[in-house]
Amino acid sequence: MYRYPSYNLSTTDLREFPGGTLFNGDCLDVIKTLPAASVDCIITDPPYFLGMTHNGQKGNFRDLSICRPFYRDLFHEYRRVAKPEACIYFFCDWRGYAFYYPLFDEILKAHNMLVWDKLSGPGNHYAFIHELVLFHAGKGANIGGTNIISDIKSFTSGAKTTDGAKVHPTQKPVALIQKFIEDATEPGAVILDTFGGSGSTAVAAVRSGRRFILMEQDEGYYHTACKRLEDEYRE
């Protein structure tokens, strides 16, 4: 059984659930408390720079260099906490790809780029209706010969709450995250998401019989994720 370490984070709120832990704090601070080689899979969807900070500065698509030290440190932490066989799924869009890929490949080694066709998008003829996923295959990882590219196209972008409203602007369908989890891990595995958002990765982990470690810096989204997990366990 996986045993969580004793977290020493006096400025970080956390919530324990039967299947894992949700943190409200800076992911770079929290991930440093995790033991080496303790994570079976990493699935995360970073903020698309808007509002992202490093050393007190805000990053955006026009000045990605501000974010480079943060992601370099984070990717090194991914390499430290991931088991040798762990797969890593890292979402990005076309604007961030040129920034993320060199760092990801240098530190973690990119083995593929997956394309999620969201199928539905705004009415604009040139609308952005796909997202990219940088993929690292762990040592000896077996994805079972699944045709991932065709399979992930079947998931629409309908990430909704029960009242039909999105709870996070870049929220991914739980079914998409659950497919990645089940492709890459066995039941009981530990799934890490350093940009937890509204908690979709945790919900997917619970539904697939895995454990989760989620980190979310925004207090509002953290509480939303807690509420979603409460509802999930209640069902």
**pLDDT attached to residue 130:** 79
Domain ranges, residue 65: 13-234
Look at residue 127 and tell me if it is in a domain. Answer: yes
Residue 111 has pLDDT above 60, yes or no: yes
* Confidence band for 119, pLDDT divided at 50, 70 and 90: low
Look at residue 142 and tell me if it is in a domain. Answer: yes
Residue 166 has pLDDT above 60, yes or no: no
Look at residue 69 and tell me if it is in a domain. Answer: yes
CA 206-37-74 angle, to 5 degrees, is: 85
CB neighbour burial string for 62-93, b if at least 16 within 10 angstroms, e if fewer = eebebbeebbeebbebbeebbbebbbbbbbbe
Look at residue 8 and tell me if it is in a domain. Answer: no
Percent of the chain with pLDDT over 70: 70
* Confidence band for 122, pLDDT divided at 50, 70 and 90: low
Look at residue 4 and tell me if it is in a domain. Answer: no
Residue 202 has pLDDT above 70, yes or no: yes
**pLDDT attached to residue 222:** 97
Number of domains in the chain: 1
**pLDDT attached to residue 235:** 79
* Confidence band for 152, pLDDT divided at 50, 70 and 90: very low
* Confidence band for 170, pLDDT divided at 50, 70 and 90: low
Look at residue 3 and tell me if it is in a domain. Answer: no
Q: CATH number of the domain at 102, please.
A: 3.40.50.150
- Going by the DSSP 8-state scheme, the letter that residue 64 receives in this structure is G
**pLDDT attached to residue 105:** 97
Model confidence pLDDT, tens digit, residues 46-104: 986 544 444 334 445 555 667 889 999 999 999 999 999 999 999 998 888 989 999 99
Look at residue 43 and tell me if it is in a domain. Answer: yes
Of 11, 2, 17, 45, the residue nearest 228 (C-alpha): 17
Look at residue 179 and tell me if it is in a domain. Answer: yes
Mean pLDDT, range 9-33, rounded to an integer? 90
